[in-house]
Structure 1
């Protein structure tokens, strides 16, 4: 991941991620403890995941060259993901609308969901495709980075409609990837075949259930971790002195556990 200068307005892939219960954790713990945890999050999630993504990208580009798809290299070499965070919210967007950028963003968000959960911070996210602009305003104190656009607004709205810890990819993003013809279709089909993307009846607000493509964050666990996490999802919602005596939190937990068990059944 790299921080790009002023950008857009441009149509790219966008994700919005929200850490559930983070405000409550802040109020229930010493700020020094939260800061220490935040530093761990920055290292493990941001730095280490970025390195893993770069290795994945390099592997794909190398494979393109070996199978005679050199004409695609220029399109993908400059692909990257940028981000802007405020407290418990994280905006992410790609530098372009290539199929590789979509693959990188979905993998990155998927890993974030898993690792936030492991560290006791269940999260929720949405990925879409839309307009993003970044403007740096010089003030008398320090540069102010402003991120805005319809893509950001839509991802934020979609994230907030879900009632679980999980993530969805909307049809607009998937449809645009498929416009990349053979490679886009190959990329999406591969993600479905590996059960990285799954069709799922997602629990939404107002008691609604809608069919979406969801990120299967459970694929990041090995068999031993799978068993342990299945018994520990409720505990992850209570980590850092968070309470779960509110019915809205209990519903999120139940829906998250159901998804986990459903994916466990599908992977047998």
Structure 2
């Protein structure tokens, strides 16, 4: 089984989102989720529709995507630096767009084995058979590490660093997308309590007024869709997310 670069994201509070909202609201927000995935994949390219509407242009992306319930997975077809750079562009866009404006996520970018079997058939009775089987050690490792994160944010796993360290200058290659930070984990003794590259939430720095505005946007994203932030675990995740945002404050 071939190894590739994988970006794995989970939506935080998805069960509460489903249980606390009407079918109409869920349909609208599902459309927003798919819109954000497509915008991230399109990397700023759009196609015009009738009456001035536009949709993301996915015609030239080399990044694969599968969305199942509260999980979004992007992955490359190979392990080239060019493919990783495009994956980082997509993952960076998706990460900040969701956390700052839509729906908190946490994620991992790793390098490991993953394969997918996908098809769709519809029989004469109208029944659909649609297998979307994904498997591989990379998927399991990404899920375990993402599930252990205690913030809305994403990290670049050491497996990526090890794969590219002899091919590029790590700091200069990753600086458009990520910076070093000690990400919070539920079990730091498992994943270490050391700096690793974390996807940026902001380009550049924030003054105090801009910081306050972004902070309120993150809090709103945690509360959107009738989600509660009173749970101690949610409070911890929100607090850790704001602590990370403070690293962008200009002095």
Shorter-chain TM-score: which interval?
A: 0.7 to 0.9
Task: Kindly report the root-mean-square deviation, in angstroms, between the aligned alpha carbons of the 2 structures.
Answer: 2.6
C-alpha displacement of 1:220: 8.4
Q: Distance in 2 between matches of 1:135 and 1:103?
A: 25
Structure 1 residues 189 and 118, CA gap change in structure 2 (3 angstroms): closer
Give the deviation of 1:90 after TM superposition: 1.0
Aligned match of 2:150: 163
Match of 2:106 in 1: 124
What is residue 106 of structure 1 aligned with on the other side?
88
Q: Is 1:86 equivalent to 2:68 in the alignment? A: yes
Alignment match, 2:50? none
Pairwise CA distance, 1:103: 1.4
Is this contact kept in 1: 2:155–2:196, CA < 8 A? Answer: yes
Superposed CA offset, 1:111-145 (max 9, x none): 11211124431110001100111123677633412
Q: Check 1:202–1:219 CA distance in 2 against 1; reply closer, same or farther (3 A cut).
A: same
**1:213 aligned residue (193, 197, 210):** 197
Query: What is the TM-score normalised by the length of structure 2?
Result: 0.81
Other-structure match for 2:216: 231
Question: Alignment length, in residue pairs?
Answer: 229
The structure with the greater share of residues assigned to helix is 1
Alignment counterpart, residue 246 of structure 1, candidates 222, 226, 231 = 231
CA deviations on 1:223-250 (whole Å, 9 max, x unpaired) are: 7755411233223211111111111110
Distance 1:220 1:123 in 2: 21
Q: Distance in 2 between matches of 1:28 and 1:128?
A: 33
Query: For residue 177 of structure 1, what is the aligned residue in structure 2?
Result: 164
* Paired position in structure 1 for 2:243: 258
Partner of 1:204: 185
Cα drift, residue 217 of structure 1: 1.9
Unaligned runs of 5+ in 2: 47-59
Q: What corresponds to 1:15 in structure 2?
A: 7
Asked if residue 135 in structure 1 is aligned to residue 117 in structure 2, the reply is yes
Q: Is 1:51 aligned to residue 42 of structure 2?
A: yes
- Return the offset for 1:214: 0.9
**Gaps (5+ residues) in structure 1?**
1-8, 56-77
User: Measured at CA, do residues 96 and 226 of structure 1 come closer, stay the same or move farther in structure 2, by a change above 3 Å?
Assistant: farther
Shift of 1:221: 8.9
Helix, strand or coil for the counterpart of 1:96? coil
**2:55 corresponds to which residue?**
none
